[in-house]
Chain A
Amino acid sequence: MGVADGYRTRAEGLVENPFNGLLVFIGLYLVADLILKLSGVDVVVNVPGMGATKIMGGVEPLDSFLSKVINGILRGLIIGLAGIGLSMTYSILGFANFAHGDFITVGAFMGVMTSYIVAGVVGAATYDIGTLALMKVEASQLGLAITGGPLAFAAIVLGLLIAGVGTVGVVLLVDRLAFEPIRDRSSVSLLITSIGVALVIRYLVNFIWGIEKFSANSPGDTWELAIRGSEPANGLQRGPSTWEFVITELTGSIRVNAHDFTLLIIAVSLMLGVHVLLQTSKLGKAMRAMADNKDLARVTGIPTDRVIRFTWVLGGSLTGVAGYTWVLWSGTFGWYDGWLFLLLVFAAVILGGIGSIYGAMAGGLIIGLARDLSIIFIPSAFAKAFAFALMIVVLVVKPSGLFAGRTTA
């Protein structure tokens, strides 16, 4: 690693100065542009030869902006939750785990399968267990929503639990079979192995559940936050709370449903839990030590095997739960989705600084927001590409990430 490190410092020094100014400029421009758009102002400049040209501004209704913010935060929470595990294994085991996206898939499938079985077998009982396990039913027919009564609630809670526990099981098995035998090999060997693991998991899921996406959405109550302006007619429609933003010239509403709140509560409480766990337990200290220097940690008597196992347990459970909350939030999930999601998680982890748990959380939020807010400035089809581009910029400009040096919590 010494080689690469030496190089990185040089590269950073070279790239940093000219680049940073440009980046700050772009950032300021975007903020200014956003403010103009929110106020519905066009900035038109008379360019000689081209006539009047719009250079900034436009229209971005507040409700649409706030929806994007909410979407971005929720997406960011899922990314962050999944990112914690990726970040921990990256720093403690020393490799970029390309199977991590498929761990998300495992969580989603195992969790939702459990929910289906619980809701279907205990409840309607019109479906046989095989159909339920393979999720060949619409979730709405099972009434699977957090607000759908005690049974549905229990099914979802149990699903969440199994999403975490089941993923831990799979992850530990994978570690035992695939990674442990080559623990001391180079990070590149482990990375390649993880690509193999990813293929095995993904296509096993495909083999069993097929290629259709399953859906698990019947979100129950929707709360609408009305944004009321000059047209009070568009006010609150249903739901318990009445929050009003009164802004002249702007009307509209933001929808938030019960599952969005569920996601918010789960993600925030789990992140707080991880924080407390790593700050107060010896485990956190051991993990920090191992991330710093594995050999040193071993000779100072840290039980490295146990720490590694804890890393997988903690990371795997959070990742599995992240998969389940993804289903709650978006309503659908397919065998390929976890893999497609992986790069966003990498983006978050790199942005936050590999090894830093707060970095992963913050990185998740930043990437989530960047992905959803970028739509204001660029065509929505480029949103994901933009998030990746952001990650590349961070890797090039500041490979240590924004929260560098704060390894594992």
Chain B
Amino acid sequence: MSVGDSVPDRVSAVGSSDPAKIIGLLVFIYAVYLVAGSIAGINPVSNLTSLTRWIGLFAIAALALNLHWGYTGLFNIGVIGFMGVGVYVAAIVSKDPVAAGGGGAVGGATGGLGLPLPIGMLAGAVAAALFGLLVALPALRLRADYLAIVTIAVSEIFRLSVRNGNIASFDVGGLSVGFGGGDGLQLDWGSEVELLFDALLLGGVYDSLSATAERLIGSPVAVDRIGYALILLAFMIGYYALLRRIGNSPFGRVLKAIREDEEATNSLGKDTDRFKIIVFMIGCGLMGLVGVLWFMNAGGGGGSVNPTQFRPDTTFYIWVALIIGGAGSNTGSVMGGALFAAFLYRGPRFLQTVIDKLTETDLGSFARRTGFGEAMAPIAGSFDPIPLLLYAVTKIQSLQLLIMGLVIIYLMQNRPQGLLGHRKEQAAAISLSRPDRRSDGDRAVAADGGAEDE
């Protein structure tokens, strides 16, 4: 291979085409959903906003995880715990205040400190980062598999603790706040989208958007969903840009080196512990922010949190997304997040809706009537597979996790670099082609020797 011609081409080509690839994939996914949705007569706005919600969330979550695992080799399987710290702290900081003694733990009716939502989000991210520091200080020197066990244990400790009635509500400076215990917390922020637009001094945009939507669709809810989708897209772009910048820098280079061989990197004079602590905190902070966005009401998330939502399952969703895209690549993380959200996470449920509408079977009542036994009986008797298929459709939420498990096994066995292939991004702030200033004439000395020892 001749260095002179091929490298610059390659580097510039990659640089320009990465976002293009992401956009291409998104266009494809949206087209599939639009077509399938319109066949089944699903409202396109709710169809696409909900799709965007999951793509956005999984993309940013996978990006944050990529910083830990893909770049630095930090095996964090406690992602949901850091997300939880983020959203719980944001809730406590920016829920409406309730006077001490007035709230109580019932139904998550405790109040907060009443600070603006953006401050709450920031506080959530900072708290998650500090929680990350707490974990990092003792645990980052552990082997990868031990770190995995510690992080998942920490996320379980978090879940079991917030579930605990003893800290469901307590008084701080005359206000009743708390973690809500087993009932969880109401995230009664009002319209988060409006608050966030206002915070960005885009209140006017929100109002006009709102008016337009009211006129076109006739539903004010749609505005929040669209606005939320836009916010998520903005976060996606923000996370992507930030992480690319981190990755394409000397800092990112050290992270990669730590992933490859920490001891050798340390011997080259890099204070690897410092890098690992910083990067663990940043990643956890980003995860904390993901947590707030994930559970807020605006996107149709229900506007409440409940400890059972912080079981490790979500962590593994995010891992699958990252593995699909190929750990170590930011572009891959986004694409993996989008593919995962569209086809593994949201896809089966979407399919369920489509089948429900198309077949006009009342799946809900079928599910109530039919268990696995009833579904199998006709097969045993008269080889009628329809009840079993319908049962499978009603149980699609279990099946999709089963499929995710199969996907993990398949990828680890056959495509450990991810479905999208080996897409490592070069860790430098500049293109690494030979600088122009040195013409080939300077390098006559390099002409001999060569590859004899290969």
**Which residues of A approach B to under 8 Å, CB–CB?**
1-4, 6-8, 10-11, 15, 95-96, 130-131, 133-134, 136, 177-178, 181-182, 185, 187-189, 191-193, 195-204, 206-210, 343, 346-347, 350, 379, 381-382, 384-385, 388-389, 391-392, 395-396, 399
How far, in angstroms, from A388 to B153 measured CA to CA in the complex?
6
Question: Contact partner of A207 among B142, B157, B402, B407, CB < 8 A?
Answer: B402
- Residue ID in chain A nearest B392 by CB atoms: A207
- Nearest chain-A residue to B163 (Cβ)? A381
Q: B413 an interface residue at 8 Å Cβ cutoff?
A: yes
Tell me whether B160 and A384 are in contact (CB under 8 A). yes
Max chain A C-beta neighbours (<10 A), residue from B143, B262, B263: B143
How many Å from the CB of A21 to the closest CB on chain B?
16
Tell which of A1, A178, A203, A389 touches B402, judged by Cβ atoms closer than 8 Å: A203
Chain B count of residues within 8 A CB distance of the other chain = 50
Minimal beta-carbon separation of B155 from chain A (angstroms)? 10
Partner of B160, one of A3, A189, A381: A381
Pair A3/B402 contact, Cβ less than 8 Å: no
How far is A206 from B395 in the complex, measured between Cα atoms in Å? 9
B412: which of A130, A196, A209, A347 is its contact (CB, 8 Å)? A196
User: Which residues from A are CB-within-8-Å of B145?
Assistant: 95-96, 187-188, 191
How many Å lie between the Cα of A382 and that of B160 in the bound state? Answer: 7
Residue pair A134, B401 in contact (C-beta under 8 Å): no
> Are the C-beta atoms of A343 and B144 separated by less than 8 Å?
no
Q: Is B250 an interface residue (CB 8 A)?
A: no
B21 at the interface (CB under 8 A from A): no
A381 to B160, CA, bound (A): 7
| Pairwise interchain contact B413-A193, C-beta atoms closer than 8 A | yes
Determine whether B408 belongs to the interface, using a CB cutoff of 8 Å to chain A.
yes
Please list the 4 inter-chain residue pairs (A to B) with the smallest Cβ-Cβ separation, ordered nearest first.
Answer: A196-B408, A199-B405, A200-B405, A381-B164
Q: Are A396 and B139 in contact (CB under 8 A)?
A: yes
Name A's interface SS.
helix
- B409 and A136 form a contact (CB under 8 A): no
B308 to chain A: closest CB distance in Å?
10
Q: Which residue of B lies closest to A90 (CB)?
A: B145
Contact with A along B123-162 (1 / 0, CB 8 A): 0000000000000001101111110111011101100110
User: Is B7 at the interface (CB under 8 A from chain A)?
Assistant: no
Closest B residue by C-beta to A14:
B141
Interface residues of B in 213-231 (CB under 8 A from A): none
Q: Out of A197, A206, A350, which one reaches B149, CB within 8 Å?
A: A350
Q: Report the minimal beta-carbon distance from A127 to chain B, rounded to whole angstroms.
A: 11
A319 CA / B413 CA spacing, docked (Å): 26
Instruction: Say how far A98's CB is from chain B's closest CB, in angstroms.
Output: 9
Residue in contact with B157 in the complex, picked from A133, A191, A388, CB distance below 8 Å:
A388
B399 within 8 A of A: yes
Tell me, yes or no, whether B372 is within 8 Å of chain A by CB.
Answer: yes
Contacts known (A181-B413, A192-B412, A382-B164); A203 close to B401, Cβ less than 8 A: yes
A200 to B400, CA, bound (A): 10
Q: Which among A185, A204, A350, A388 has the greatest number of chain B C-beta atoms within 10 A?
A: A388
B97 at the interface (CB under 8 A from A): no
- Would B412 and A11 count as touching, CB distance under 8 A? no
Q: How far is the CA of A379 from the CA of B372 in the complex (A)?
A: 40
- Among B166, B409, B413, max chain A CB count under 10 A is at B409
**B interface, CB within 8 angstroms of A:** 75, 77, 138-139, 141-146, 148-150, 152-154, 156-157, 160-161, 163-166, 261-263, 316, 319, 323, 371-373, 376-377, 392, 395, 398-399, 401-402, 404-409, 412-413, 416
Within the complex, which residue of A185, A187, A209 is in contact with B144, where a contact is CB–CB below 8 Å?
Answer: A187
For the complex, give the distance between the alpha carbons of A228 and B261 in Å. Answer: 64
CA A15 – CA B273 in complex, angstroms? 15
Is there contact, CB below 8 Å, between A385 and B262?
A: no
Contacts of A196 in B (CB 8 A): 404-409, 412
Across-interface contacts of B412 in A (CB, < 8 A):
182, 185, 189, 192-193, 196
List of A residues within 8 angstroms of B395 by Cβ: 206-207
Q: Are A193 and B408 closer than 8 Å at their CB atoms?
A: yes
Contacts of B153 in A (CB 8 A): 343, 346-347, 388-389, 391-392
Contacts of A199 in B (CB 8 A): 316, 401-402, 404-405, 408
Return chain A residues, CB-CB under 8 Å to B149: 96, 343, 346, 350, 391, 395
Name the one of A134, A197, A385 contacting B371, with C-beta atoms under 8 angstroms: A134
Closest residue on chain B to residue A131 by CB atoms: B373
Chain A residues, CB < 8 A from B142 = 8, 11, 395-396, 399
Seed contacts A191-B75, A385-B156; 17 additional CB < 8 Å A-B pairs: A8-B141, A15-B138, A177-B409, A182-B413, A187-B145, A197-B409, A199-B316, A199-B404, A200-B402, A203-B405, A207-B398, A209-B372, A384-B156, A388-B154, A395-B146, A395-B149, A396-B139
| B residues near A6, Cβ cutoff 8 Å | 263
Central interface residue in B145, B156, B416, by most chain A CB within 10 Å: B145
Contacts of B262 in A (CB 8 A): 3, 7
